[in-house]
Amino acid sequence: MAKAKETKPAPGRFAYEGLERAIHEKARLGIMSSLMTRPEGLSFNELKELCDLTDGNLNRHLEVLSEAGLVTVRKQEGTGRGRTLCKISSQGRTRFKEYLEELERVIADAAAASAAGQRLSAT
């Protein structure tokens, strides 16, 4: 007789397709999070400090985010030295929220796995 089967997770169950690559990279995740906290934008130097990045790295990651339509980067000319203002775009906000929903699934999966592991070790 066939023995009782465990419920088998669906193919691709752990592919986490919702983790958009442009956002998921660690430094860019930090940049997006910083910009979420400041809808009015952050200067290049503020971002650099908050995310602990070099000029070169921050530039490179802002380029990726900006090409993906997630942020806007604008040189502000004015009194004194120019200042670069970085802002999350409205599309960026929406996509970051979708990204976070997938991240919550990752955590929920791990929590479920951890609970199952505890049940196993208790038997």
Q: Map residue 104 onto helix, strand or coil.
A: helix
Least distance in angstroms from the C-beta of 77 to a copy of itself: 25
Least distance in angstroms from the C-beta of 80 to a copy of itself: 20
Least distance in angstroms from the C-beta of 106 to a copy of itself: 6
From candidates 3, 4, 7, 37, binder to a copy of itself by CB under 8 A: 37
Output the six-digit token pair for 61: 């990651």
Residue 20 contacts residue 95 (beta carbons within 8 Å): yes
CA pair distance 62, 52, nearest whole angstrom: 14
Give me the sign of the Cα torsion angle 42, 46, 51, 56.
Answer: positive
Is the CB of 17 or the CB of 77 nearer to a copy of itself? 17
List, as own/partner pairs, every contact residues 48-55 make where C-beta atoms lie below 8 angstroms and the sequence separation is at least 24, other chains included. Answer: 51/27, 53/27
Q: Map residue 40 onto helix, strand or coil.
A: coil
Q: Is 65 in the site for a copy of itself (CB under 8 A)?
A: no
Is the CB of 56 or the CB of 77 nearer to a copy of itself? 56
Q: Is 45 in the site for a copy of itself (CB under 8 A)?
A: no
Which positions touch a copy of itself (CB under 8 A)? Answer: 9, 11-16, 19, 21, 24, 26, 29-31, 33-34, 36-37, 39, 49-53, 96-97, 100, 103-104, 106-107, 109-110, 112-114, 116-117, 120
